[in-house]
Amino acid sequence: MFRNKIIKKGITKLCDTLSDEGKLQSWNTLQNKNLTASEYFLLISAFDSIPPEWKNLLKGQLQNPIVNNNISQDAPFPSTSRLLYWNLINKVESPPHVTTQIRRNIPNILPRSVTLDSKTREFQYKFLNRIIYTSKALYKMGIVSSPTCTFCRKSEESLEHLFIYREFSRGFWVSVTLWLKDFFKDLDVLNATNIIFGFFIEDYLLLNHILIICKQVIFQCRNRNIKPSLSLLKVKLKYVYKLECSIAKQKDSLETHQKKWKKLLSFLN
């Protein structure tokens, strides 16, 4: 059961509410356990929502009780159904492999640390978990007729092809790197790992954020069937900077925001 008040009255499992015939005990019987009328109505609806096969299983269990009481009445029990849900889910949940790896090693490249903008966070999360809809993915889902790249029409449009290896993307990354060198003096080249994950250096919080924005630009251009370009990136950067600025104002963290964007301020203002 998921109601603390009911649990405290000694009803921890559905079986506790059932008669020997597997039916819900009468109001008179349950009233002896100090159950209120509204709690009884709750039990009625819980009982009604159980599929008939489960009711048969419960009946069987009542007739041949198995001593397997996982929930001790003394053990702390979640106070809400949501907590109970997460308790159960945590036992079976396994986070996506990439996320586990990153969470363990380099927290400063996780989207949440890099940006306040929820759309950017969402994009990088999807990217790391490979849930970006490239032609290859859409083809597998039966949504498009071909897995080939929307531009070159030669290679399969995988995540790597679209964001890194395709001719337009390579050109885009070259121009971006050259431009960024003015602001990040020790930046040398961007390799595939940097493009996907960012840099594993704390000082590069802003650069990591910019790399995510670059990928967003590539993806938006892909969807509009245009080439990604440095000028489009610059427009987007200014937009995201202003957006983060207004979020930071609301959160009273303007100082942190300015500190993060410091290296790029000469361009942004």
Interaction of residue 174 with Zn ion, rule CB under 5 A: no
Distances (CA, A) of 48 to 20, 24, 51, 218: 17, 9, 8, 53
Q: Which of 11, 43, 58, 149 forms a contact with Zn ion (CB under 5 A)?
A: 149
Q: Is residue 135 packed enough to be buried (19+ CB in 10 Å), middle (13-18) or exposed (0-12)?
A: buried
- Contact of 164 with 176, CB cutoff 8 Å: no
Cβ proximity to Zn ion, 151 vs 173, nearer residue: 151
CB count in 10 Å sphere of residue 232: 17
Token reading at 152: 């070159």
Strand ranges (DSSP E) for the chain? none
Q: Under rule CB under 5 A, which residues in 42-101 are in contact with Zn ion?
A: none
Please identify, using beta-carbon distances, which residue of 82 and 130 lies nearer to Zn ion: 130
The helix or strand, by DSSP H or E, that contains position 176, with its residue range, turns out to be helix 167-180
Q: How far is the CB of 170 from Zn ion (least distance, A)?
A: 10
Question: Taking the complex as a whole, how short is the minimal distance between the CB of residue 150 and Zn ion, in angstroms?
Answer: 7
DSSP state of 158: -
| Residue 196 beta carbon to Zn ion: minimum distance, rounded to whole angstroms | 18
Interacting span for Zn ion (CB under 5 A) from 14-22, 96-104, 142-150, 232-240: 142-150
Q: Among the candidate windows 126-134, 152-160, 208-216, 234-242, which touches Zn ion by CB under 5 A?
A: 152-160
Asked if 164 touches Zn ion (CB under 5 A), the answer is no
CB of 164 to Zn ion, least distance (A): 11
Which 3 state secondary structure label does DSSP give 264?
helix
Neighbours of 13 (CB within 10 A): 14
Shortest Cβ 151–Zn ion spacing (Å): 5
Q: How far is the CB of 173 from Zn ion (least distance, A)?
A: 14
Which of 35, 124, 166, 248 is close enough to bind Zn ion by CB under 5 A?
Answer: 166
Strand partners, 92: none
Provide the binding-site residues for Zn ion, judged by CB under 5 A.
Answer: 149, 151-152, 155, 166
